[in-house]
Amino acid sequence: MNYTFEKLRDIIECFDPCMDNYLYVYDIIQDLYFISERAKKRFALSSNCFTNAVEEHRKFVYSEDYDALKVELEEVARGERDRHNMQYRWLNKECVPVWINCRGKVLRESDGRPHFLIGSINEIGQQQKADNISGLLGEASFKSRMKAFGTKSVDGFVLRIGIDDFSDINERFGVEYGDRILKTVADDISSQLTGNQKAYRMTGDEFLIEDLVESNVFGIGPDENDADELFHRIRKAVDESICKSGYEAVYTISAGIISSENTSVRGYKELMKYSQFALSEAKKRGKNRAYQFQMEDYEKFLHRREILRSLREAVSLGYQGFELYFQPIVRAKDESLYAAEALLRIHDKNGNFISPAEAIPILEESGLIIPVGKWIIQNAFSMCTECRKYYPEFRVSINLSYVQILKSPLMMELKQMIEHSGISCSGIIVELTESGYLEGTPAVRSVWNDMKQLRIQIALDDFGTGYSNLMNISNLEPDIVKLDRGFTLKALSRSYEYQLMQYVIEMVHKLNQYVCVEGVETKEDLEKIKALGPDLIQGYYYSKPCSRDEFLKKFFGYSE
């Protein structure tokens, strides 16, 4: 054999600058290993040339993969293998596992002894630099582009485009057709690029266009107006392509714009983070549009994410920081106690109050409302049991989320908790918003009917807001119609709404249903509302929501 370890090492060093892969040679006889210098910068290698190769690999090969690698290298050394081809993980400089494919060929001496294993290692987890479907460069290429700027200040914009509801196209027409759409959109994008603009295929149905220059090199860089104009040209091109195809598939595109005009354009990771948020925001706001990144919106997003993190942590720690408060509902006729509405109050681990207006939507979006809702019902029933010791006709009113109804076995759990608590169904009021009911499925209507059969009182909450339809009071047949606080405030200040409230109360009474007016805060408010003849009143005039112990003390004189 004419090869020596030194010659093979020199060849590797010669080709290394021209390669993306890491070349290596393992001298089996001398037990000496050499790999491209670049590998030392990427992985947890103390040196790119070392002895005792099999054992040395233990230091930078992911522990779960090492034994399998050791077996294969030992088989190579014994001459049992002519090829090495294995996918496993090396640790990078941060000791994070990185998937690689290590391939090699065994070079033997004339007597058949294995002498060298020579080959290459490539990162199979690394994103492609180009995309064959769209014909565009890939995300890895954009990452390299951003690295070229280094720490220099950059002017211009980044436009991140996504095909709206692309998964529907794949489901209806198949993946191959979906690939054709990706190619069409990529061509539409490319047809509108000008000057220094470059397009890249990101993950899934997303594309990225950048028009970036170093600050103060070419004068004033492209701005958000240029990005917005480009988006509208691309959208028009997409529409024309859909028309040419005979409207086989109709789809739209959305985009997020990051511009140096209103935010610092710097660094690959930050750009990816901001552009993904901007695209998501465009889709959230109705799709088929572009959204200009605003730091204020992003900070709100981070704030919501922090709240979600706090809520998840609290739930996992046994609802730490969760508490039920109770607000009385009184009879208008004699101002005697009728019920109390259970209201959720939350504090994070630092004692900071989380507003229900913020927390409830996040609980619903995340699905946490299901375990939290169950916790609320259990604790509300416990309170009702305690109050009935002093006032046997006491009722507790519980707000239900439509997420609970649609995504949990609500009625089964409700029946079990009623049986376990010993509360009769007459002691329970369930509050449901009219808007949620109208948007609901047959499952919602089924739960509504099941609760009626159990003789649980149903309150139609938030009447007087956007969805209000007087006919729904008749169609839905609730036991109680709760007039929203906003409606009450208008009725107290304007004669038109005051007269309208009177008509609503009269109509509800003709249907043999109760009316509860929310938002009564002063003695004057009380007298004006009582003149309209409602059945129940709720508001700060009688009490703000208060803790369990405070409520028991205030209304029953109880103290532990």
DSSP assignment of 428-442, as one string?
EEEEEEHHHHHT--H
Residue 299 within a domain: no
Q: Do 463 and 539 fall into the same domain? A: yes
What pLDDT is recorded for position 472? 65
Question: For residues 426-441, b (16+ Cβ closer than 10 Å) or e, as one string?
Answer: ebbbbbbbbebbeebe
474: enclosing H helix or E strand: helix 470-476
Map tokens 């720690």 to a residue.
317
Q: What angle do CA 442, 447, 453 make, to 5 degrees?
A: 125
Residue 306 within a domain: no
Q: Do 184 and 76 fall into the same domain? A: no
What pLDDT is recorded for position 127? 63
DSSP 8-state code for residue 475: H
* Contact residues for 135 (Cβ-Cβ < 8 A; gap 6+): 183, 186, 187, 190
Q: Do 12 and 107 fall into the same domain? A: yes
What pLDDT is recorded for position 436? 56
Q: Do 357 and 480 fall into the same domain? A: yes
Q: Do 207 and 322 fall into the same domain? A: no
* Contact residues for 257 (Cβ-Cβ < 8 A; gap 6+): 157, 158, 159, 160, 224, 227, 228, 231, 278, 290, 291, 292, 293
Tens of pLDDT along the chain (560 residues) come to 678 999 999 999 999 888 889 999 999 999 999 999 999 989 999 999 999 999 999 999 999 999 999 999 999 999 999 999 999 999 998 898 999 999 999 999 989 999 999 999 998 876 667 888 888 999 888 988 888 887 777 888 999 999 999 989 988 999 899 999 999 999 999 999 998 899 999 988 999 999 988 776 544 557 778 999 999 999 999 999 999 999 999 999 999 999 987 777 668 888 999 999 999 999 999 999 999 999 999 999 999 999 999 999 999 999 999 999 999 999 999 999 999 999 999 999 889 999 999 999 999 999 999 999 999 999 999 999 999 999 999 999 999 988 888 888 989 999 999 988 888 898 999 998 765 555 556 777 788 889 888 999 999 888 876 555 666 676 678 899 999 999 999 999 999 999 999 999 999 999 899 999 999 999 999 999 999 999 999 999 999 999 999 999 999 887 65
Q: Do 282 and 331 fall into the same domain? A: no
Residue 302 within a domain: no
Q: Do 432 and 332 fall into the same domain? A: yes
CB 164, CB 253: distance < 8 Å: yes
CATH code of the domain in which 459 resides = 3.20.20.450
Q: Do 528 and 479 fall into the same domain? A: yes
The helix/strand/coil state of 222 is coil
The C-alpha atoms of residue 137 and residue 132 are separated, in whole angstroms, by 9
Residue 107 within a domain: yes
Residue 463 within a domain: yes
CB 517, CB 491: distance < 8 Å: no
Residue 270 within a domain: yes
Residue 207 within a domain: yes
CA atoms within 13 Å, Cβ hemisphere of 29: 11
Do β-strands 322-331 and 536-538 pair in parallel, antiparallel, or remain unpaired? antiparallel
What pLDDT is recorded for position 477? 83
CATH code of the domain in which 112 resides = 3.30.450.20
Residue 308 within a domain: no
What pLDDT is recorded for position 195? 85
Residue after which a domain boundary falls, among 262, 293, 324: 293
What pLDDT is recorded for position 218? 47
What pLDDT is recorded for position 214? 76
The C-alpha atoms of residue 503 and residue 399 are separated, in whole angstroms, by 26
Q: Do 499 and 409 fall into the same domain? A: yes
The C-alpha atoms of residue 115 and residue 106 are separated, in whole angstroms, by 7
The C-alpha atoms of residue 212 and residue 38 are separated, in whole angstroms, by 29
- Host domain of residue 102: 5-123
Residue after which a domain boundary falls, among 64, 97, 123: 123
Instruction: List 458's β-bridge partners, or say none.
Output: 430
Question: For residues 308-338, b (16+ Cβ closer than 10 Å) or e, as one string?
Answer: bebbeebbeeebebbebbbbbbbebeeeebb
Tokens of 128: 């492609």
CATH code of the domain in which 153 resides = 3.30.70.270
Q: Do 91 and 172 fall into the same domain? A: no
Q: What is the pTM for the complete model shown?
A: 0.72
Q: Do 96 and 152 fall into the same domain? A: no
Count structural domains, the chain: 3
Residue after which a domain boundary falls, among 261, 293, 325: 293
CA atoms within 13 Å, Cβ hemisphere of 396: 27
Phi (first) and psi of residue 19, to 5 degrees: -115, 150
- Write the CA distances from 248 to 243, 245, 545, integer angstroms: 9, 6, 57
CB 137, CB 130: distance < 8 Å: yes
CB 42, CB 19: distance < 8 Å: no
What pLDDT is recorded for position 220? 55
The helix/strand/coil state of 1 is coil
Q: Do 391 and 449 fall into the same domain? A: yes
